[in-house]
Structure 1
Amino acid sequence: MLKTNQYSNTIPPIPNICEIFSNCNSYCFANNAKCFPSLASHQEGSLEGIRTTVLKPLIGALVHDVSSLVEEIEDPLNNLSLLIKNNTNSKDLVAWRPTGIPEQDIIDHDVKVLKSQKKILEEAITSSRNKRIKLFERVKSGRAKCAENQEKISKFANILNETIDTCSSIPTESIEHHIVENLFFEDLDQNTSFDVSQPKRMKAS
């Protein structure tokens, strides 16, 4: 069954439709029966039987068709009711209606579609612009970091070159002599102990 809303009364219930159709059919059948006065006056039972025989399958077919129609349009009508309920536009906004002029209606429809597509394109352009700005900031930050690292590398390279130049200016013999002296004094410190509390007397020769 259709959901109850302010537009549900535009579709009469099926029993009401059948009653309206039955009354209309009875009225039309009675008027048509006047064309045969002898049949209408002397054989009313036969006439009523004919009317019932014709009306019953017709009402059944009508009920079936209307039921199928209601089932078919139930979901679209419910969705329409939901859209109307959730509509955020101003109530004073006049909805578009066909003018009856095909050319004008086509133009109005195309204008509406083009405006919608324009809005979508504008949103896509704005999103692309924001992404490009963020990417530019990342590239800018990366370049600054690269420059800082390059400066540190240059500084350490200069220190290393100065160290290499200093080492190259020292003679090899001086380096070897310095190493030998260090080793000699290290061995001397480890193997020799001096007792300064009781100095030993030297023997006369």
Structure 2
Amino acid sequence: MEESEVATSKATVDNDGIKESSENQMKDATEEVSSQMSSSGSECKPSEKTEVKHNRLKLFDKVMQKSLERFIQHVSFNRFASMFRPLYKKNPQMMENIHKQFIEELQGAIKEDINRLIEEGRLEFKLNELDKLERAAKDNPEPAWRPSGIPEQDFCSFLMPYYQKQEAYMRLELKKIQAENAALAQKVQAGRESITQTEHHISTAVEEWKASVTEFERLVSSLCPADVFDV
């Protein structure tokens, strides 16, 4: 009974040590990879712009890889066997196989979770956007925006540019609609003028036709007087 309690307490201490050491290793890996990336970035040439574009994603991959490697180092066979000492004493070879399979499945599960995190969080897109913001900040000599401490002013400073853009867009659309309406009005006016001219031509043709009919009747009456046919 005492041996089981000692083993349990030892396992608890080991797990706590793993958590603390994994956090420390994560920080160390981040600092190590950051220093490597900064040293390699100082030697980067202008022709390597396409490679520099993905530095943050590469940094993330290296940090995850380093953290995974150091985390796996803490899950050593000796520590694993100490947790299952009775089974280890009965069959050490089987315990080694179980430990190997455990390490492979653990690595696979962690890598799968990391890949899912990258896909679901759209990490590559967001890191590229962060690169763009960084380049824009370098090109912009003005200081970056900082909150003033007054929520009303900060809220207005955030919304006013948006409303100004919307106003400019609405003014542009209004000008387009006014130009379209003016073009349509010109077409309507031209159509009305065409109809008026057509009505004038029709009325002129009718008057000419009436005049020709009257002239024809007068000519017929002059050539064939009515008294010639009287008996």
Q: Secondary structure at the match of 2:114?
A: helix
Q: What is the aligned partner in structure 2 of residue 8 from structure 1? A: 55
Counterpart contact for 2:54–2:128, Cα < 8 Å? no
Q: What is the aligned partner in structure 1 of residue 158 from structure 2? A: 109
Shift of 1:160: 1.4
Q: What is the aligned partner in structure 2 of residue 99 from structure 1? A: 147
Q: Secondary structure at the match of 1:135?
A: helix
Q: What is the aligned partner in structure 2 of residue 149 from structure 1? A: 198
Q: What is the aligned partner in structure 2 of residue 66 from structure 1? A: 114
| Residue deviations 1:130-164 (CA, integer Å, cap 9, x gap) | 21121012112212212221221222122112123
Shift of 1:175: 3.5
Give the helix-richer structure, 1 or 2: 2
2:231 counterpart of 1:167: no
Q: What is the aligned partner in structure 1 of residue 171 from structure 2? A: 122
Shift of 1:5: 4.6
For the pair shown, the structure with the greater C-alpha radius of gyration is 1
Gaps of 5+ in 1: 27-44, 178-205
CA, structure 1 residues 100+60, in 2 after alignment: closer, same or farther (shift >3 Å)? farther
Q: Please, what TM-score do these two structures have when normalized by structure 2?
A: 0.46
Higher relative contact order (CA 8 A, sep 6+): 1
Report the Cα distance in structure 2 between the residues aligned to 1:125 and 1:145, rounded to whole angstroms.
Answer: 30
Shift of 1:168: 3.8
Q: What is the aligned partner in structure 2 of residue 35 from structure 1? A: none
Q: What is the aligned partner in structure 2 of residue 198 from structure 1? A: none
Q: Please, what TM-score do these two structures have when normalized by structure 1?
A: 0.50
Percent of pairs with identical residues: 14
Counterpart contact for 2:147–2:154, Cα < 8 Å? yes
Counterpart contact for 2:118–2:124, Cα < 8 Å? no
| Residue deviations 1:87-138 (CA, integer Å, cap 9, x gap) | 99x9437697562745444323322331232233123212211211210121
Letter of the 2:178 partner, please give it: R
Report the Cα distance in structure 1 between the residues aligned to 2:142 and 2:82, rounded to whole angstroms.
Answer: 54
Shift of 1:21: 5.2
Letter of the 1:68 partner, please give it: R
Report the Cα distance in structure 1 between the residues aligned to 2:115 and 2:217, rounded to whole angstroms.
Answer: 105
Q: What is the aligned partner in structure 1 of residue 20 from structure 2? A: none
RMSD: 4.6
| Residue deviations 1:55-91 (CA, integer Å, cap 9, x gap) | x69877654443321122246337738x949x99x94
Q: Secondary structure at the match of 1:11?
A: helix
Report the Cα distance in structure 1 between the residues aligned to 2:143 and 2:186, rounded to whole angstroms.
Answer: 46
CA, structure 1 residues 140+109, in 2 after alignment: closer, same or farther (shift >3 Å)? same
Q: Secondary structure at the match of 1:99?
A: coil
2:65 counterpart of 1:18: no
Q: What is the aligned partner in structure 2 of residue 133 from structure 1? A: 182
